[in-house]
Amino acid sequence: MPLTALIAEDEPLLAQALAAELARAWPALQLLPPAIDGDDAVERALADTPTLLFLDIRMPGRTGLEAAQAIVEDWPANKPLPLIVFVTAYDQYALQAFEASAVDYVLKPVQPARLLATCERLQALLAQREPAAADAAATSSDEALLARLRGLLGGTETPAAAPLQLIQVGVGSSIHMVPIDEVVYFEAADKYVRVLTATHEHLIRMSLRELLPQLDTQRFWQVHRGTVVRASAISQAQRDEAGRLHLLLRGRPEQLIVSRLYAPRFKSM
């Protein structure tokens, strides 16, 4: 199978420059037409399933981190995850977070020597995925990527000093006070969040990204990019024939899907 790469960059000149440097550093790599923003990157990546992704951090729509999360969560289960490189203009302090998470990056404007080192690292990782290699090596590679991405995503929010205790929900001309202990799960709904208790469903004018730092992460677990569940409301975690995890809840009839990014949370003691 040919090795393919998708570049996601909203500035055409920078996308062209990165493509030109990649062509020089790795002539055998097949470059797909670039994605113009984060949403386009998710759509194109899931349609074309490239071997490598070069994602700009700051793009319209989804950021590079959000695009990476969406791609990994919805990636076909029968294919190895793509190797991800973030392209960033962040300062040195921010780059330390990338180094600590062991996620590779290239700094804009791209320097040929740095990109060549990145390509050599990617080639070494891909060599571990050759058919002759053990299946365990490929599985380990995917698990390492998921762990690095979880670490990086976890470092993007600053938790609130005092976790939220009440959800204030506007209903007509009144405001309902929903104790946080009654919430079974939260679900993203565009620019809103659905708040589901055992008996009611509410809608709050807030994004899940804004809500997450206000929650106690020991009590509320993110199980998908759009779903956060109260841990004590989970009765079972079951795997289907495809290996995907589904959560059965106390007080709600629906089942929640756990993305592969958060599946390692569910292990028997």
pLDDT at 134: 45
Q: Are 251 and 229 in contact (CB under 8 A)?
A: no
Torsions phi, psi of 183, nearest 5? -75, 125
Rounded distance, CA 19 to CA 223, Å?
35
All domains in the chain, ordered by first residue: 4-154 (3.40.50.2300), 166-265 (2.40.50.1020)
Q: Which tokens sit at 251?
A: 């007080």
Interval 26-81: pLDDT, tens? 999 999 999 999 999 999 999 999 999 999 988 888 888 889 989 998 888 788 88
Average pLDDT (176-187) is 96
Output the furthest CA–CA distance in the chain (Å, rounded).
Answer: 66
Interval 149-172: pLDDT, tens? 877 776 545 555 678 999 999 888
pLDDT at 188: 95
Mean pLDDT of the chain: 87
Which of 99-113, 116-130, 243-257 shows the lowest mean pLDDT across its residues? 99-113
- In the predicted model, is pLDDT for residue 3 greater than 90? yes
When comparing pLDDT for 101 and 127, which is higher? 127
Q: Are 217 and 264 in contact (CB under 8 A)?
A: no
